[in-house]
Amino acid sequence: MGASQHLSNEDFFSQLSSLLESTQKKGHGSVYLTQKRCITFNTSSSSPSVTPAKIADDPLWDLHPPNPLPLIVRATDGKSHKLGPEGAKDRTKNAGKTRLSTIVQPEKMEAFFARYAEVCKAGMQSLKKRDRSKRKKDKSKKQKKKGPGAAAAADGKT
């Protein structure tokens, strides 16, 4: 993914909202969100890439850059392969995978993450709470079979 394919922050938010909405309408699926600092990002075409200078005797030399680094934020729908008629044996690359990315400059980071949190919260509103009632029933049945003292011993209480 080249630098020309990165979206503006506003375009990223609008497309992320539509990606989350389409996943909710389907009733299943995943959206993967990743972020990392962007070391090789050029702010202008004539300047060299931003790379921190290596400091002797410091194993974490790259954690202390001279200037704050921009972030790259990515979102995908996780559909990297299509399953063929044979199932997992016949996997092919999926050209329909949704990929979004944007570069966040250090001075815009606080505003970006405030909006990012709003979009993510809005996209997760209609998620169903996981049904754990079956798991709780199974656990209580096991404790009853072992007896009343076994539950306290299992919790580390004597």
Query: Which residues share a beta bridge with 72?
Result: 36, 103
Q: What whole-number percentage of the chain has pLDDT above 70?
A: 66
Q: Is the pLDDT of residue 46 over 50?
A: no
Task: Report pLDDT for 141.
Answer: 74
Cα Rg of the chain (Å, integer): 24
pLDDT average, residue stretch 132-153: 69
In a domain, 136, yes or no: no
pLDDT average, residue stretch 135-156: 66
Q: Is the pLDDT of residue 60 over 70?
A: yes
Task: Report pLDDT for 41.
Answer: 52
Task: Report pLDDT for 118.
Answer: 93
* Other beta carbons within 10 Å of 70: 20
98-141 residue pLDDT tens: 899 999 999 999 999 999 999 999 888 866 677 777 777 777 77
* Bigger pLDDT: 90 vs 79: 79
pLDDT average, residue stretch 68-74: 92
Q: What range defines the domain where residue 112 resides? A: 1-21+30-38+70-77+98-127
* Other beta carbons within 10 Å of 100: 22
In a domain, 104, yes or no: yes
In a domain, 63, yes or no: no
Q: Is the pLDDT of residue 42 over 90?
A: no
Find where tokens 């630098």 sit.
3
Whole-structure pTM value? 0.61
Instruction: Please name which of 22, 157, 34 lies closest in space to residue 104, comparing C-alpha atoms.
Output: 34
**19/14 Cα distance (integer angstroms):** 9
In a domain, 138, yes or no: no
**139/158 Cα distance (integer angstroms):** 19
16-41 residue pLDDT tens: 999 988 888 887 788 899 999 887 65
Q: How many domains does the chain have?
A: 1
The overall average pLDDT reported for the chain is 76
With 0-12 CB in 10 A as exposed, 13-18 as middle and 19+ as buried, what is 134? Answer: exposed
In a domain, 56, yes or no: no
In a domain, 154, yes or no: no
Are 50 and 85 spatial neighbours (Cβ–Cβ below 8 Å)?
no
